[in-house]
Amino acid sequence: MVNARRGEVEATLAGRSFVFCLTLGALAELEAAFGASDVDALGRRFAAGRLSAGDLRTILVVSARGGPRPQDAEALATLPLGGELHLFVDAAIRVLEAAFGSGADPSPRP
């Protein structure tokens, strides 16, 4: 069971259940990965509403390590999309919204 107050987000991707959570350490990893100078710059980058496949991978892998139970976060990179790319995008958006608020993604969900 996920703890929404903690910012945890559950998603089933390629038939596997994952719990994602952005921790302070995860935010620091994202800052470094995206070359953001601070959390505000990171939030503005995500608020632009454009995510590359690399962005999705980074957000999901980093936030999978922040979940409440050990997960094979790196396995996310090799999961088959199987026509369900929208589920991966939705999971990343929900993780960002949990950390930054609903303004993290101004575009509508599929």
For the segment 53-62, what is each residue's pLDDT rounded down to a tens digit? 889 989 999 9
For residue 49, is it within any domain?
Answer: yes
For residue 109, is it within any domain?
Answer: no
Q: What is the spatial distance between Cα 96 and Cα 99, in angstroms, rounded to a whole number?
A: 5
Domain count along the chain: 1
Boundaries of domain holding 76: 4-104
Q: For residues 51 and 89, is the Cβ–Cβ distance under 8 A?
A: yes
For residue 86, is it within any domain?
Answer: yes
Q: What is the spatial distance between Cα 106 and Cα 35, in angstroms, rounded to a whole number?
A: 22
For residue 25, is it within any domain?
Answer: yes
For the segment 63-98, what is each residue's pLDDT rounded down to a tens digit? 988 877 766 777 888 888 888 999 999 999 999 999
